[in-house]
């Protein structure tokens, strides 16, 4: 038997999803360890046990070992990355310090921005005394204004030698227009200090805008020594246990790449976990034939949302993590501080839920770990959504009376409500906040939420999904049996993906003619980028990974002066002014779809700011889980749906990997280990051939279809 | 990163407000939704706009208003800009026939509500059936709306008529139909019609977003309920603001700041504020300010209100929802005809960065003095941040052969003021801009004919103090890719240290603007020489050189104000000073001169530092100190070194923590301090001819209690008249 494995390391658990080619799949969870690798190896042991194999037999039978990790993110957030120096153009030493003035707000929640004392939480990634200026200058056209002298390189290298660092970032002005100076500095660094990890800005973050490019390059350099050591140790440990294929790692942009690519560009995997979760849903949505998805993950402290349109996740080009802007494509995951641990408070006669969270410690009142303020989880328990006897797969008992007391004391009494009404109020406030985020990620991007299918993940997602759907007018939601290990599933199934992007600045007239001499360099650059992306997606991982190649090319276009561009698909050969003209028309169509008919304003003129080529290879073969469990009846329970004074009696079912073709009607509950699917009155839940629950809401209940 | 201001927290539990019954759960849901709508308005505006002031610097405003013009929501946007759209709405309510659904009005008249003509506003009524429920409003700084000079800032203007198109309130969209004839007339007045046209489209999109979202809220919850939520949001913030004011000491605070040069001559103007706090009310009286100027630095009454808001929201609005409720407990008092209440047709083109900015400075200082003298909020006391914004505009024909205009936002990168609890932020920017941003140098060079020599922090520019202010940024640039262009350079604060400190903290450095003619060199020669360390032949530009031609090889260089410091610099931990020196933001000379910290190979020389600090204290009071400060000294703290003490007979006295009695019967403590006029040269501060600076010391310990900027011909103000 052959296996596919996906792993995802979270703060508490290391998840492992495994699929055998006999159709069996499993999600296994091991406690995460400080060295990360211990948790992964433990999860591998659990998986081998599950299939009654030795670890060596199991590892030797693995065709794909996918990995998602927060190792880089943790290093960055705990300031434990490698000591790093930065070399930049003379006159611009303080680019990170000044941080476009924006850096002072990094890491602040909306609640914190209005209090000016919170500013400046994060220091610059490289301290000012380790930033070295070098005499050279290139202009926006790539012309050398001041040549870089060898003596100047030597002078700066002496400073690096004295600095006792493990990594050096090189980020000079306009290196994206002419990389020669960065390359010469790098060559000299590598010759003199072969042990140092060197990052070049034109390679790591090829985009105009020195702050984000410099910041990204500095982060990459600082993570380099940490991440390459970590991946080397992981690879060695797994090889010793018989793994024959290279480990592939999930990137923030939602594709896997081989570990050696990550060792060069660790900054590309900072947000691999959330990206893997969205990719997992995209895979399942693809199987089910849905191409507009909202993926929600309701955890203890945060609510994360991804959006998939036409089968592709919506992306963003920049993230802020810790005190650093990261200029790398990433799946756009919207997040707010709302989840099971969100604390309910009455302030000034109004009920607020979150953003303060009880977290895992002390946690909700019902955990009995010392929490005193009622949370959303306490409300769910009181409302009958959760089972006090059977929580977290039966590993934990909840204290319903304590939850009810806390809600009564701190919410119900101050508001003059009954306990159930107060608990329902907590649910409503929380659900409406989550719905606000879902609205903003769809409507703001010009999409109608009613056309989407919602994928509910995270411990609390399947129990809140029905309310979110109703709030947004969504008819269908999906709960997969692997939802508690969704990111691991994503790393195990995701395609190989490489993106090549280059800035290219072109000012185009709104009405005048496009000049042929402007188009030729564009076509040339696009051809070179395509070749590079193809080659990159072929190198690296194992044979079995090389499915069909897909190439997509886009140009970043905007009206002159705008800050936001649209990524517009371009023809294979952008060889003539007419072809570029077509691309501009395509931009205007996209623009009007987004901002409304009549919003196009070609009088302003256009700007093309960059090109992107994306090469991907889907994994060969399909994941086809075999039929499994029948639903097992497990008594009934009163659950509050709309009227808090009239809980509805619900049939309770239990399952882990349900067999296809089973149907249940709401109101009922389906309890999985670690998650509870709530099917509201009037809704029907049916398992598809892969064991996913597809829940269809009664459309007469469509009252909340509000835009 | 930008968003909508924080929901309420940290306020006493109180029963729900009386009035129509409103379900508290529904209140919270709708309140969150209204904040989300405001955020969606911001995104619509920033996505469509083509103005760097909007897309890069969030120099704009979006909000939802009640029918009478009070704002119920706003984003984290320029706080000066909170009142103008409300004034536009009031003007429409009073002077126009009743609005109809689908109407939108445009305005930019500083004698109606704008801060200056560049601030173009648009507002649209939102109806439920035939009932007017709310207004959606938006405004943004437009780079050019006509007038004598490029960018509509006209140093030689003598009347507002010379400063560009003025629109009191014109219906641009009539029941959903864009009046393209009016639009054409408006954009024709601008030197940058495409940019203005794109932004007006952004405004329309923004109001459409708000209208659509509000309609779906009305459909779901009923417009009565939504309107009631908006009113409650304002009254909740009002109540919390009043509760906050009630915790500040009663009494008066008298503060004054200055701005120099009115565009015609280097005259000095005072913005004078007497803030009277009684119970839960605050009266701000600007009656002592200078008469209006003949030039463009004036503010109208609308500008004065904007200036007050610019300080009030950031200083008192922490952890509150930002809306009109913050302004309700505040009375603004001033007769017409002052520099901050100019009469029509006085010119006001640069009001925002001149008088309005200075108004914000004095309100900041007054509120922070009150916070500092309140036990609950003392840790929040902050010195003045970035007390000016120097202007660098460039216009002409760019490297693409197009007419262009640049309004540089780099000058936002002044230092922020020190807090009682920690240092200010280097290049932290002004408080009135809650989410500041400046463009990358590369982005600027890509679209404008500029070549920067540097953009960096300038050492030794932070206001010195136990807590240091933030250091200011500086930039130097020349032109490239064109044969020349016209620069417009102006500021206040080149000869006035506006970013003053608190409690002995020094003001940050003043602005320095310089120019070096290329004298035949091109930009490349210049850069090479610059990198080789050559200093060109600088001409000092002073505060307002106005418009002048610039060519490749010429250099314009400017450094901005550092943030004010907090507390006596001699009280700063020597290790913190050593760290600043290691970072290279403080020179070793400055460390020794100003902080009394002596370093040997980068490490603090404890012994020599002690000696040096003792010598400075001795020099301050003309004799060796006979007592040291005791932070645990009893009494009500008025900052770190002063205590208000009530004697057995009930009289008020102010003591220093070293035990000196400075005043009896009032809080006018300056009379009992050792006071000396001081030369601020070591602090990179230049002073206008009519100004002087005075330091006040504890006669026993030599501790620095305050550094005051005042008229040379007068003594410093006794700022505090508290009646605790």
* Helix (H), strand (E), coil (C) string for B201-250: HHHHHHHHHHHHHHHHHHHHHCHHHHHHHHHHHHHHHHHHHHHHHHCCCC
Residue A590: which domain range? 495-617
Last residue of a domain, one of A222, A246, A277: A222
Residue A571 is predicted with a pLDDT of 78
Q: Can you give the CATH number for the domain in which A166 is found? A: 3.40.1360
Any A CB within 8 A of B529 CB: no
Mutate to test the interface with A, among B8, B31, B34, B50 (most CBs of A within 10 A): B50
Mutate to test the interface with A, among B22, B29, B33, B522 (most CBs of A within 10 A): B29
**φ, ψ for residue A40, nearest 5 deg:** -65, -45
Mean pLDDT, residues A368-395 taken together: 89
pLDDT interval class at A627 (50, 70, 90): low
User: Which chain A positions have a beta carbon within 8 Å of B454's beta carbon?
Assistant: 90-92
pLDDT interval class at A393 (50, 70, 90): low
Mean pLDDT, residues A40-55 taken together: 96
The tens digit of pLDDT for each residue in A135-144 reads: 999 999 999 9
The pairing of beta strand A131-134 with beta strand A84-89: parallel
Q: What is the ipTM of this complex?
A: 0.94
Any A CB within 8 A of B17 CB: yes
Nearest CA in chain A to B18: A349
Chain A: closest CA distance from residue B635 (Å): 26
Yes or no, beta carbons of A129 and B583 under 8 Å apart: yes
Residue A701 is predicted with a pLDDT of 45
Yes or no, beta carbons of A706 and B457 under 8 Å apart: no
- Would you give the end-to-end CA distance of chain A in angstroms? 50
The tens digit of pLDDT for each residue in A501-531 reads: 999 999 998 887 889 899 999 999 999 999 9
Pick the range with the lowest mean pLDDT from A68-82, A183-197, A205-219, A470-484: A68-82
Any A CB within 8 A of B566 CB: no
Residue B322 has pLDDT above 60, yes or no: yes
Residue B9 is predicted with a pLDDT of 36
User: Which chain A positions have a beta carbon within 8 Å of B476's beta carbon?
Assistant: 91
Q: Length of chain B, please?
A: 724
Question: Is A170 inside any structural domain?
Answer: yes
Any A CB within 8 A of B131 CB: no
Yes or no, beta carbons of B524 and A346 under 8 Å apart: no
Mean pLDDT, residues B669-678 taken together: 97
Contacting B residues, span 315-334, partner chain A, CB-CB under 8 Å:
317-320, 322
Residue A186 is predicted with a pLDDT of 98
Pick the range with the lowest mean pLDDT from A48-57, A595-604, B73-82: A595-604
Chain B: closest CA distance from residue A32 (Å): 31
CB B328 within 8 A of CB B241: yes
pTM exceeds 0.80:
yes
Mutate to test the interface with B, among A101, A316, A334, A424 (most CBs of B within 10 A): A101
Instruction: Kindly provide the b/e burial profile for residues A484-520, where b requires at least 16 CB atoms within 10 angstroms of the residue's own CB.
Output: bbbbbbbbbbbbbbbbbbbbbebbbeeeeebeeeebe
Residue A596 has pLDDT above 90, yes or no: no
Residue B102 has pLDDT above 70, yes or no: yes
Nearest CA to A282 out of A307, A257, A299, A253 is that of A307
CB A90 within 8 A of CB A135: yes
Chain A: closest CA distance from residue B215 (Å): 9
User: Which chain A positions have a beta carbon within 8 Å of B220's beta carbon?
Assistant: 704, 706
Question: Is A166 inside any structural domain?
Answer: yes
pLDDT interval class at B35 (50, 70, 90): very high
Mutate to test the interface with B, among A178, A437, A563, A704 (most CBs of B within 10 A): A563
Residue B16 is predicted with a pLDDT of 40
Yes or no, beta carbons of B442 and A428 under 8 Å apart: no
Residue B8 is predicted with a pLDDT of 38
Q: What is the rounded radius of gyration, in angstroms, for the C-alpha atoms of chain B? A: 26
Q: How many CB atoms lie within 10 A of CB A246?
A: 18
Last residue of a domain, one of A617, A642, A672: A617
Mean pLDDT, residues B401-405 taken together: 90
Residue among B1, B6, B426 whose CB faces A111 most closely: B6
Any B CB within 8 A of A211 CB: yes
Mean pLDDT, residues B556-574 taken together: 98
Burial of A260 from C-beta contacts in 10 A (0-12 / 13-18 / 19+)? middle
Residue A537 is predicted with a pLDDT of 78
Residue A621 is predicted with a pLDDT of 67
Residue B19 is predicted with a pLDDT of 46
Nearest CA in chain A to B406: A561
Yes or no, beta carbons of A604 and B6 under 8 Å apart: no
CB A542 within 8 A of CB A63: yes
Could you tell me where the DSSP H helices lie in B317-434? 355-372
Question: Is A593 inside any structural domain?
Answer: yes
Chain B: closest CA distance from residue A428 (Å): 7
Residue A450 has pLDDT above 70, yes or no: yes
Total tally of structural domains belonging to chain A: 2
Yes or no, beta carbons of A432 and B29 under 8 Å apart: yes
Mean pLDDT, residues B562-590 taken together: 97
**φ, ψ for residue B432, nearest 5 deg:** -70, -10
Mutate to test the interface with A, among B47, B211, B323, B584 (most CBs of A within 10 A): B47
pLDDT interval class at A91 (50, 70, 90): very high
* Contacts across the A-B interface (CB distance below 8 Å): 263
Residue A196 or A394, more confident = A196
Residue A544 has pLDDT above 70, yes or no: no
DSSP per residue, A32-96: --TTSHHHHHHHHHHHHHHTT--HHHHHHTEEEEEEE--HHHHHHHTT-S--EEEEEETT-TTHH
CB A162 within 8 A of CB A193: no
**Residue B679: which residues within 8 A CB-CB, separation 6 or more?**
B693
Question: Is A106 inside any structural domain?
Answer: yes
Nearest CA to A273 out of A9, A5, A618 is that of A9
Any B CB within 8 A of A596 CB: yes
Residue among B1, B16, B50 whose CB faces A349 most closely: B16
Yes or no, beta carbons of A110 and B412 under 8 Å apart: no
Last residue of a domain, one of A165, A187, A222: A222
Residue B348 is predicted with a pLDDT of 98
Structure tokens at B333: 């008092």
Q: How many CB atoms lie within 10 A of CB B30?
A: 23
Mean pLDDT, residues A423-435 taken together: 94
The Cα–Cα gap between B203 and B724 comes to 49
Asked whether the bond before A355 is cis by omega within 30 degrees of 0, the reply is: yes
Average pLDDT taken over every residue of chain B: 93
Residue A364 has pLDDT above 90, yes or no: yes
Residue A388 or A130, more confident = A130
Residue B15 has pLDDT above 60, yes or no: no
In what order do the strands lie in the sheet containing B131-141? Answer: B71-74, B60-65, B131-141, B119-128, B104-107, B170-174, B177-178
Q: How many CB atoms lie within 10 A of CB B343?
A: 13
The Cα–Cα gap between B402 and B417 comes to 41
């Amino acid at each position: 038997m052959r296996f596919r494995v996906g792993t995802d390391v979270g703060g508490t658990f290391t998840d492992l999803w495994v699929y055998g080619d006999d159709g069996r799949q499993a999600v296994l969870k091991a406690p995460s360890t400080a060295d990360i690798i211990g948790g992964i190896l433990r999860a591998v042991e659990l998986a081998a046990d599950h299939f009654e194999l030795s670890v060596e037999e199991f590892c030797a039978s693995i065709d794909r070992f996918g990995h998602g990790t927060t190792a880089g993110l943790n290093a960055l957030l705990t300031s434990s990355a490698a000591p790093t120096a930065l070399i930049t153009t003379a006159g611009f030493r303080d680019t990170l310090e000044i941080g476009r003035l924006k850096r002072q707000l990094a890491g602040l929640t909306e609640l914190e921005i209005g209090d000016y004392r919170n500013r400046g939480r994060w220091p610059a990634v490289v301290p000012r005394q380790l930033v070295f200026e070098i005499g050279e200058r290139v202009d926006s056209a790539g012309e050398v204004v001041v040549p870089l002298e060898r003596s100047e390189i030597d002078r700066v290298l002496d400073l690096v030698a004295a600095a006792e660092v493990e990594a050096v970032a090189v980020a000079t002005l306009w290196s994206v227009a002419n990389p020669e100076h960065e390359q010469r500095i790098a060559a000299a660094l590598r010759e003199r200090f072969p042990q140092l990890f060197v990052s070049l800005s034109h390679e790591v973050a090829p985009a105009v805008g020195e702050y984000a490019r410099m910041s990204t390059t500095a982060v990459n350099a600082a993570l380099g020594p940490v991440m390459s050591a970590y991946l080397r140790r992981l690879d060695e440990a797994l090889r010793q246990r018989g793994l024959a294929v290279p480990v592939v790692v999930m990137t923030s942009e939602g594709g896997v790449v081989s570990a050696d690519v990550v060792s060069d560009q660790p900054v590309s995997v900072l947000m691999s976990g959330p990206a893997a979760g969205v990719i997992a849903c995209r895979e399942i949505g693809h199987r089910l034939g849905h191409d507009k998805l909202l993926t929600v993950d309701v955890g203890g402290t945060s609510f994360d949302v991804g959006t998939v349109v036409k089968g592709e996740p919506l992306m963003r080009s920049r993230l802020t993590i810790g005190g650093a802007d990261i200029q790398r494509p990433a799946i756009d995951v919207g997040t707010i501080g709302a989840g099971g641990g969100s604390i309910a408070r009455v302030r000034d006669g109004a009920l607020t839920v979150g953003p303060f969270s009880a977290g895992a410690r002390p946690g909700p009142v019902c955990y009995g770990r010392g929490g005193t303020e009622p949370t959303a989880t306490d409300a769910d328990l009181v409302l009958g959504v959760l089972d006090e006897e059977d929580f977290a797969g039966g590993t934990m008992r909840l204290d319903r009376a304590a939850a009810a007391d806390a809600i009564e004391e701190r919410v119900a009494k101050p508001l003059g409500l009954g306990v159930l009404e107060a608990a329902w109020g907590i649910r409503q406030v929380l659900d409406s906040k989550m719905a606000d985020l879902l609205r903003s990620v769809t409507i703001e991007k010009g999409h109608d939420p009613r056309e989407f299918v919602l994928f509910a993940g995270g411990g609390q997602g399947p129990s809140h999904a029905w309310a979110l759907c109703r709030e947004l007018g969504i008819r269908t939601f999906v709960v997969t049996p692997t939802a508690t290990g969704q990111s691991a599933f994503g790393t195990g199934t995701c395609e190989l993906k490489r993106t090549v992007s280059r800035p290219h600045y072109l000012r185009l007239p709104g009405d005048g003619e496009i000049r042929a001499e402007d188009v030729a360099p564009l076509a040339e650059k696009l051809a070179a980028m395509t070749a590079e992306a193809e080659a990159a997606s072929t190198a690296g991982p194992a044979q079995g990974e090389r499915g069909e190649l897909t190439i997509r090319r886009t140009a970043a276009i905007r009206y002159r002066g705008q800050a936001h561009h649209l990524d517009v698909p371009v023809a294979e050969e952008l060889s003539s002014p007419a072809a570029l003209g077509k691309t501009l028309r395509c931009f205007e169509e996209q623009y009007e779809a987004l901002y409304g008919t009549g919003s196009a304003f070609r009088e302003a003129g256009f700007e093309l700011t960059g090109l992107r080529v994306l090469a991907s290879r889907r994994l060969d073969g399909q994941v086809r889980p075999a039929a499994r469990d029948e639903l097992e009846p497990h008594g009934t329970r009163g659950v509050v749906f709309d009227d808090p004074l009239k809980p509805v009696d619900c049939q309770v079912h239990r399952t882990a990997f349900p067999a296809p073709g089973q149907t249940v009607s709401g109101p009922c509950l389906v309890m999985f280990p670690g998650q509870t699917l709530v099917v509201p009155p009037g809704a029907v839940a049916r398992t598809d051939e892969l064991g996913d629950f597809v829940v269809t809401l009664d459309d007469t209940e469509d009252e909340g279809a509000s835009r | 990163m930008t968003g909508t201001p924080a929901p309420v927290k940290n306020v006493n539990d109180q029963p729900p407000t009386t009035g129509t019954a409103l379900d508290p759960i529904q209140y919270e849901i709708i309140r969150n939704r209204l904040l989300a709508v405001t955020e969606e308005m911001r995104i619509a505006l920033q996505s469509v706009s083509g103005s760097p002031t909007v897309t890069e610097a969030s120099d704009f405003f979006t909000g939802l208003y009640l029918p009478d013009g009070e704002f119920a929501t706003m984003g984290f946007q320029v706080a000066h800009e909170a009142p103008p759209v409300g004034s536009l709405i009031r003007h429409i309510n009073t002077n126009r026939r009743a609005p109809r659904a689908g109407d939108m009005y445009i305005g930019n008249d500083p004698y109606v509500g704008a801060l200056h003509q560049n601030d173009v506003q648009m507002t649209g009524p939102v109806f439920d059936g035939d009932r007017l429920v709310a207004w959606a409003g938006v405004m943004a700084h437009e780079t050019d709306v006509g007038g004598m000079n490029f960018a509509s800032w006209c140093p030689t203007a003598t009347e507002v008529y010379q400063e560009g198109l003025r629109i009191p309130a014109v219906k641009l969209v009539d029941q959903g139909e864009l009046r393209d004839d009016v639009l054409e007339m408006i954009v024709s007045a601008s030197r940058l019609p495409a940019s203005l046209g794109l932004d007006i489209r952004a405004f329309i999109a923004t109001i459409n977003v708000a209208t659509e979202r509000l309609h779906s809220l009305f459909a779901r919850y009923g417009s009565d309920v939504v309107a009631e939520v908006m009113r409650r949001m304002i009254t909740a913030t009002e109540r919390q603001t009043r509760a906050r004011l009630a915790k500040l000491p009663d009494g008066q605070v008298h503060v004054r700041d200055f701005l120099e040069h009115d565009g015609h001559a280097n005259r000095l103007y005072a913005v004078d504020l007497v803030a009277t706090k009684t119970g839960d009310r605050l009266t701000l009286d600007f009656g002592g300010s200078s008469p209006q100027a003949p030039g463009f630095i004036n503010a109208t009454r609308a500008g004065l209100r904007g200036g007050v808001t610019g300080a009030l929201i950031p200083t008192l609005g922490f952890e509150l929802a930002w809306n009109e409720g913050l302004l309700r407990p505040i009375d603004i008092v001033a007769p017409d005809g002052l520099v901050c209440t100019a009469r029509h047709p006085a010119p006001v083109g640069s009001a925002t960065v001149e008088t309005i900015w200075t108004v914000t400075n004095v309100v900041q200082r007054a509120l922070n003095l009150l916070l500092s003298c309140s036990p609950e909020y003392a840790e929040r006391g902050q010195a003045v941040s970035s007390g000016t914004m120097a202007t660098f505009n460039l216009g002409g024909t760019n490297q693409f052969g197009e007419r262009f205009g640049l309004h540089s936002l780099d000058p936002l990168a002044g230092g922020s003021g020190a807090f009682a609890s920690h240092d200010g932020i280097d290049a932290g920017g002004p408080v009135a801009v809650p989410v500041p941003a400046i463009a990358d140098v590369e982005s600027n060079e890509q679209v404008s004919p500029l070549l920067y020599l540097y953009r960096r922090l300038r050492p030794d520019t932070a206001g010195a103090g136990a807590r240091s202010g933030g250091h200011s940024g500086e930039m130097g640039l020349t032109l490239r890719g064109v044969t020349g262009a016209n620069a417009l350079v102006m500021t206040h604060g080149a000869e006035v240290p506006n970013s003053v400190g608190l409690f002995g903290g020094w003001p940050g450095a003043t602005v320095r603007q310089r120019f070096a003619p290329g004298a035949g060199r091109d930009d490349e020669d210049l850069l090479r020489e610059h990198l080789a360390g050559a200093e060109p032949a600088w001409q000092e530009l002073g505060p307002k050189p106005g418009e002048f031609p610039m060519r490749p090889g010429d250099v314009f260089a400017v450094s901005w104000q550092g943030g004010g410091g907090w507390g006596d610099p001699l009280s700063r931990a020597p290790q913190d000073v050593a760290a600043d020196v290691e970072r290279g933001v403080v020179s070793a000379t400055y460390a020794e001169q100003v902080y009394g910290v002596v370093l040997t190979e980068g490490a603090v020389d404890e012994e020599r530092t002690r000696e040096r600090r003792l010598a400075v204290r001795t020099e301050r009071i003309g004799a060796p100190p006979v007592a040291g400060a005791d932070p645990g000294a009893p009494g009500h703290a008025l900052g770190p070194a002063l205590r208000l003490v009530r004697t057995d007979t009930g009289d008020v006295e102010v003591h220093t923590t070293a035990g000196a009695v400075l005043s009896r019967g009032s809080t006018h403590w300056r009379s009992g301090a050792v006071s000396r006029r001081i030369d601020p040269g070591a602090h990179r501060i230049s002073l206008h001819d009519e100004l002087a600076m005075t330091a006040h010391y504890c006669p026993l310990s030599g501790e620095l209690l305050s550094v005051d900027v005042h008229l040379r011909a007068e003594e410093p103000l006794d700022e505090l008249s508290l009646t605790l």
